[in-house]
Structure 1
Amino acid sequence: MLKNKPMKTANFLKMMMLFLAIGISSCSSNSTDDGGGNNGGTNGVTLESSKTRVYDNTLVNFTVRDANGANVSAQAVITVDGTAITGSSAILTGIGSKSVQATLGSDTSNTVSVDVINPSYTTKALIEDYTGAWCGWCPRISQGIIDVHNMSGGEDVIAVAVHNGDSMVFPLEANMRSQFGVTGFPTGILNRDARWASVSGDAMNIGQPMQLLTTVKPVGLAINSSVSGSTVNATVKVGFDLDQSGMKLVVVLLENGVVEAQTNYTNNFGGGSSIPNFVHNDILRASFTDIFGDVIPADQQVGGGVYSVDLSASASANSTDWDVVAFVVDATGEVVNVQKAAVGTNKDFD
């Protein structure tokens, strides 16, 4: 009898294991848990946001999808910081992070955070002045630039003088004229988009470039440069408040303080037909980048991020008065924002 005892014990253990396996299988087959938990949304309910970083008082659209990917936004209730919104979009106000969720019946979606921020960057504008020492009406724009600087109280409006037919000519001047449809002198192009209008033979419409300073821009620039022999080295940074796409960077070298006689048909600068000791400033001399822009990598155009690039250009003229001007253009070629700094200085974001 004692010899049969081990066999009985083994059979008993086998039976117990079988019952346990059946029980586990039964519990598994009756489970309704899809494993998503609160993080993924129960039953696959997912919330998406059109933006995750915005300025104050910005409209944001939300989309709710079921486990099959179908848009069920119309049937869902969406809350921002616990308060239900009407429909599937909301104007977010108040600086800070907003917590957004959706419910569909008894199911709750993932949580989406949307950061509401203040603008970081000063808006500046670019004037490209197509000019020449031979051009009698060109002092009209030269005076206009002085007037704009006086009105803006600083360098928020930045000028670049693109010379034609004189000792200060820029090699790619003809390419630029062709690109921007410049057919006569003088011509002022604002932000590579609009022509600067004159109000008389002596004066420009000062309000036109000043108006460009009133729009908030999501991009800012910083410039740090130095000189080594005849080479100017520059580190240019582009900061992004919000996600962008299609942006390009243009960086140019300007020379100041060149004295050359200027033909004059205006009443500006003393009104003479020739200004023998006219001081030419903001002269476009070289480009660190393609004159129409180098592509900023797409993965660098991210809200809260900074793109940095090291560049160099030859300072061939005999001068010690140089400026670096850097600006970002969008996919259409229009200037988004611009910065200027004297060579040998570090101009941070502002």
Structure 2
Amino acid sequence: MKTHPYFKFLFLFAVLAVVSCSKKEDPFVEQGPALVLELKSDAGNGELEVVSIDQVVNFTVIGNDDQDYTSLANILVNDVEIEGSSYTFGELGNYQVKAIYDDVVSNVLTFEVLAETERALTVSVTKAMRNQTVTFGLLDNEGTDTSDEATFYVNNTAIEGNTYSSNNVGDFEVYAEYVVNNETYTSATKNFAVYIPKRKVVVEDYTGTWCGFCPAVALAIDELRAATEHVSIVAIHKTAASLPDPLDFPRIQELQDMFGVSNGFPKGQINRTVAWPDPYPSGQILSMAGADTDVAIAINSKLTGANLTVEVKVVYENGSTPGDKVVVYLLENGVVAPQANYFNETPGHPYEGLGNPIEDYVHNDALRNSLSDLFGDAIPSTPAFQEFKKNYTFTVPSNYVGENLSFVVMVVDQDNNAKNSQFASINEAKNFE
């Protein structure tokens, strides 16, 4: 009995898929929290602390496991290790202090030692939304705020008091003039910016390496990215009954059930809840991408060894809405695995002649894990312009390629519609925008 060529292909691709899968463990692995260190000082833990010359400052290092690591950690001042956990600031200037234990790096504390006639300018918000109030401070060499005695200049124009807001987007400079012993001095100049949040549309691609029509969505996504930077892409892989997918996301069925995504891939979803139907028209997404919105997201991640820490911040122009949640997805890029390709013999198609399967297909934006609850962590009532901040820790499994990891973070409403999103690479500090 002869075997139909189609079944020969299925058998060959199944073998390839199993071999590929054997090189990757299940990506959804429950891990203990990664270690996070917090450096504190008895002189304060603010954005900038002014200390006196020859002042001794004592430091402590506390882990997120509530253990004291002070005696175990190395403390560095301007990247030079010190003895013990105390430091004498013997010279004028700026200092940055951090702690390191077992390759885990703490937060950084900043100190400044000033001469009698010097003042340290502080800016409450370096990236402000339109109409958000920015407050300026001016610290003397004893750490006292003398802003009520100074005149502040924004873009070389004197302002009333020490606060400023603008409806205009742009970059700004600020400095202060002040008087000491009847002489006028000028502080250093600092920068801040005003922005209007732009909407990044979430596009989720329900896909599989076994799915011969799935490259069609990947091509549509490539076209989107060529047209706009205001899209956040998530590829959610599913294993077929007989054809394993090395990027299978084990909880994909929960997402399908919640959002009504049937089998018969590929399937595209916009902002989680809206179908993106074949032929995946870009206009449906581009009409929203980059539009002004009222919520912004910032992401700051740090991967040290297997320890991943992620800080997510959300700020609203008009305050949060009851039911808002934050979703934090961990993705992996650059994963090479065979991809079924039903366009191999389609004349004029971009994938014509590439083979079926495409042996060295590069898969990007693959959902590996949800650091938050799969459907989001609740955002408490948050007033306008006040930051909501949440930290996540994760021990990265050895089968993930750390340098290829990235994030998509969404703010969703009570009905799971994505209001805005942000994406960032690993070890990137992505500010509000």
Which band: TM-score by shorter chain?
0.5 to 0.7
Counterpart of 1:188 (choices 265, 268, 273) is: 268
Aligned to 1:169: 248
Aligned to 1:160: 234
Counterpart of 2:350 (choices 263, 268, 275) is: 268
1:12-31 matches, cutoff 5 A: none
Q: Which runs of 5+ in 2 are unaligned?
A: 1-128, 132-165, 169-193, 240-244, 344-348
Does residue 281 of the first structure (1) align with residue 385 of the second (2)?
A: no
Q: CA deviation at 1:163?
A: 0.4
Does residue 143 of the first structure (1) align with residue 222 of the second (2)?
A: no
Distance in 1 between the 2:301 and 2:266 partners?
A: 31
Aligned to 2:420: 337
Aligned to 2:396: 315
Aligned to 1:256: 333
Distance in 2 between the 1:215 and 1:305 partners?
A: 22
Alignment partner of 1:309: what SS? strand
Q: CA deviation at 1:227?
A: 0.8
Q: Tell me the alpha carbon deviations over residues 103-124 of structure 1, each in whole angstroms, 9 at most, x when there is no partner.
A: xxxxxxxxxxxxxxx9721111
Does residue 325 of the first structure (1) align with residue 325 of the second (2)?
A: no
Distance in 2 between the 1:217 and 1:313 partners?
A: 31
Distance in 2 between the 1:339 and 1:214 partners?
A: 12
Alignment partner of 1:150: what SS? helix
Deviates most, 211-220 or 165-174: 211-220
Distance in 2 between the 1:138 and 1:337 partners?
A: 26
Letter in 2 for 1:289: S
Letter in 1 for 2:211: C
Q: Is the 8 A contact 1:286 1:315 kept in 2?
A: no
- Which structure's residues are more often helix, by fraction? 1
Does residue 121 of the first structure (1) align with residue 197 of the second (2)?
A: yes
Q: Is the 8 A contact 2:200 2:290 kept in 1?
A: no
Q: CA deviation at 1:55?
A: 8.9
Aligned to 1:205: 281
Q: Tell me the alpha carbon deviations over residues 120-179 of structure 1, each in whole angstroms, 9 at most, x when there is no partner.
A: 211111011100000011000010110100011x3x111101000101011211111111
Bigger CA radius of gyration: 1
Letter in 2 for 1:265: Y
Aligned to 2:258: 179
Letter in 2 for 1:310: N
TM score, norm. by length of structure 1: 0.62
Does residue 223 of the first structure (1) align with residue 306 of the second (2)?
A: no
Q: Is the 8 A contact 1:219 1:241 kept in 2?
A: yes
Alignment partner of 1:142: what SS? helix
Distance in 2 between the 1:297 and 1:193 partners?
A: 23
Q: CA deviation at 1:186?
A: 0.5
Distance in 1 between the 2:387 and 2:411 partners?
A: 13
1:60-99 matches, cutoff 5 A: none
Q: CA deviation at 1:260?
A: 0.5
After TM superposition, the runs of 4+ consecutive aligned structure 1 residues lying more than 6 A away are none
Q: CA deviation at 1:328?
A: 0.2
Distance in 1 between the 2:417 and 2:231 partners?
A: 15
Distance in 1 between the 2:236 and 2:303 partners?
A: 23
Counterpart of 2:210 (choices 134, 138, 141) is: 134
Q: CA deviation at 1:214?
A: 5.3
Q: Is the 8 A contact 1:252 1:286 kept in 2?
A: yes
Give the fraction of aligned pairs with identical amino acids, expressed as a percent. 34
How many pairs does the alignment contain?
Answer: 231
Distance in 1 between the 2:362 and 2:269 partners?
A: 22
C-alpha distance 95-226 of structure 1, shift in aligned 2 (>3 A): closer
RMSD between superposed Cα atoms in Å: 2.1
Q: CA deviation at 1:332?
A: 1.2
Q: CA deviation at 1:217?
A: 1.7
Deviates most, 264-273 or 216-225: 264-273
Q: Is the 8 A contact 1:286 1:313 kept in 2?
A: no
Q: Which runs of 5+ in 1 are unaligned?
A: 1-53, 57-93, 97-117
Alignment partner of 1:274: what SS? coil
Q: Tell me the alpha carbon deviations over residues 217-251 of structure 1, each in whole angstroms, 9 at most, x when there is no partner.
A: 21010000011322321000001111221210000
